[in-house]
């Protein structure tokens, strides 16, 4: 098969996959979540098999333990989150009004110093209009989401169907991998296997490391903000930790929310406002210099900019399903790009002095 035919085949496969994801994106959530869950739990099942349990028994033990853990976390954390979120939403108008007044009070002299002539009432009205529009859009979006029957179906399927689908996938995981491996073209089987191992290595290390990083940062921010007495500190810390899956987004979101609440709550006592700022600066210092190098390492190969682009791009195309598949696809594209670049640098397209590559001997697994 010529290079053009191979490229056409893989391009057609990519287009067909993308069209499939777009066409069935509304119903894929429990299946994608179950596939991710089975992928993450397969190493645990393999270890239990080595200890003497059968595949079915290992799968039952793992999923029961996972479901119990999720239920325990929901029972312990969900009431706190709901209580904090309810109180935050009830207090939001008052916080916005007080923050608006502080901005007008402190911002008008600064604007006058910069030569911008604007009256205090006019500045307050402009800020009020901006905040009102933002709150109106946010409320409309949340109302649409909560009123949508599709949301209820998605939540139900995620909680009920995902464990069932994950059970069947985990039981047959090794068999499915062997079946797919048997479909690989014999001529390129060794190369595809090597790329698959590289993708699996990058993806597994990134997912495990990023999940651990989010848990550590969320716990630290929540406990530290609660320790200084910040209102809604636990909620803001958990949100910052959860959003830390996207580099810098979690810390920036938590910083803006916490400093805004701190200014309203502690003004004019600058000590606690600075303490709030210091918590996030310290968290970013520890994350960048200790946690990320230790948990993720330098060889993960997913650049933060590429990760953010993948999350936003696939999220906009496929919704929440796109967010679930963004990281594995980003890892896959990164590995394939590095492989293609290495082949290009070793080809006569890059250096005309390089002759045609000699036909390599057959490797194990090749036909």
Q: Is the pLDDT of residue 139 over 80?
A: no
What region does 232 belong to: left with phi over 0, alpha with psi -120 to 50, or beta? left
Token digits of residue 256: 């803006």
pLDDT at residue 103 tops 80 = no
pLDDT category, 105, cuts 50, 70, 90? Answer: low
Question: Between 87 and 195, whose confidence is greater?
Answer: 195
Q: What percent of the chain has pLDDT over 70?
A: 75
Q: Is 334 exposed, middle or buried (0-12, 13-18, 19+ CB in 10 A)?
A: buried
Compare 154 and 159 and report the one with higher pLDDT: 159
Lowest-confidence segment of 120-124, 163-167, 269-273, 309-313 by average pLDDT: 120-124
**Most confidently predicted of 21-35, 37-51, 345-359:** 37-51
| Range list of β-strands (E), 51-130 | none
- Helices H / strands E in the chain, number of each: 14, 0
Token duo for residue 335? 């590995």
Q: Taking residues 49-56, what's their average pLDDT?
A: 86
* Residue 70's pLDDT band (cuts 50, 70, 90): confident
CB 228 within 8 A of CB 272: yes
pLDDT in tens, 284-343: 888 877 877 777 655 456 677 777 787 778 777 776 667 767 777 777 887 888 888 888
Rounded to 10 degrees, what is the CA torsion of 193, 197, 203, 204? 130
pLDDT at residue number 177: 87
- Quickly tell me which residue has 């999923």 as its tokens: 63
Query: If you average pLDDT over residues 112-130, what whole number do you get?
Result: 55
Render pLDDT for 223-256 as a digit per residue (tens, 0 to 9): 998 898 888 888 888 888 888 876 677 788 888 8
260 within 8 A of 99, measured Cβ to Cβ: yes
Res 111: pLDDT: 54
Write out pLDDT tens, residues 6-26. 677 777 887 888 788 778 777
**Which of 106-110, 267-271, 275-279 shows the lowest mean pLDDT across its residues?**
106-110
The whole-chain average pLDDT of the chain stands at 75
Closest CA to 329 of 28, 32, 114, 70: 32
């Amino acid at each position: 098969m010529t290079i053009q035919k191979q490229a056409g085949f893989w391009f057609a496969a990519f287009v067909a996959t993308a069209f499939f994801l777009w066409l069935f994106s509304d119903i894929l959530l429990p299946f994608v979540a179950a596939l991710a869950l089975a992928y993450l739990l397969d190493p645990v099942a393999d270890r239990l098999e080595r200890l003497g349990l059968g595949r079915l028994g290992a799968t039952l033990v793992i999923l029961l333990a996972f479901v119990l853990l999720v239920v325990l976390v929901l029972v312990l954390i969900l009431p706190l989150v709901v209580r904090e979120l309810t109180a935050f939403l009830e207090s939001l108008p008052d916080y916005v009004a007080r923050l608006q007044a502080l901005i007008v009070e402190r911002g008008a002299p600064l604007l006058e110093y910069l030569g911008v002539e604007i009256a205090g009432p006019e500045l307050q009205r402009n800020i009020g209009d901006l905040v009102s529009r933002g709150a109106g859009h946010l409320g409309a979006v949340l109302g649409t989401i909560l009123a949508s029957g599709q949301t209820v179906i998605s939540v139900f399927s995620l909680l009920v169907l995902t464990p069932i689908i994950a059970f069947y996938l985990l039981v047959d995981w090794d068999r499915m991998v062997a079946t797919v491996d048997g479909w690989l073209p014999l001529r390129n089987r060794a190369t595809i296997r090597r790329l698959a191992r590289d993708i699996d290595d990058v993806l597994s290390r990134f997912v495990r490391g990023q999940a651990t990083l989010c848990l550590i940062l969320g716990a630290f921010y929540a406990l530290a903000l609660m320790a200084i007495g910040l209102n809604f500190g636990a909620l803001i810390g958990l949100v910052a930790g959860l959003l830390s899956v996207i580099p810098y987004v979690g810390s920036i979101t938590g910083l803006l929310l916490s400093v805004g609440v701190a200014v309203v709550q502690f003004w004019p006592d600058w000590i606690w406002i600075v303490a709030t700022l210091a918590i996030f600066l310290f968290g970013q210092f520890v994350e960048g210099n200790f946690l990320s190098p230790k948990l993720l390492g330098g060889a993960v190969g997913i650049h933060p900019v590429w990760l953010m682009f993948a999350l936003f791009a696939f999220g906009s195309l496929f919704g929440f399903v796109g967010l679930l598949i963004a990281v594995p696809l980003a890892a896959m594209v990164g590995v394939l790009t590095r492989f293609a670049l290495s082949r290009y640098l070793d080809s006569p397209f890059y250096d005309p002095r390089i002759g045609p590559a000699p036909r390599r001997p057959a490797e194990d697994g090749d036909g």
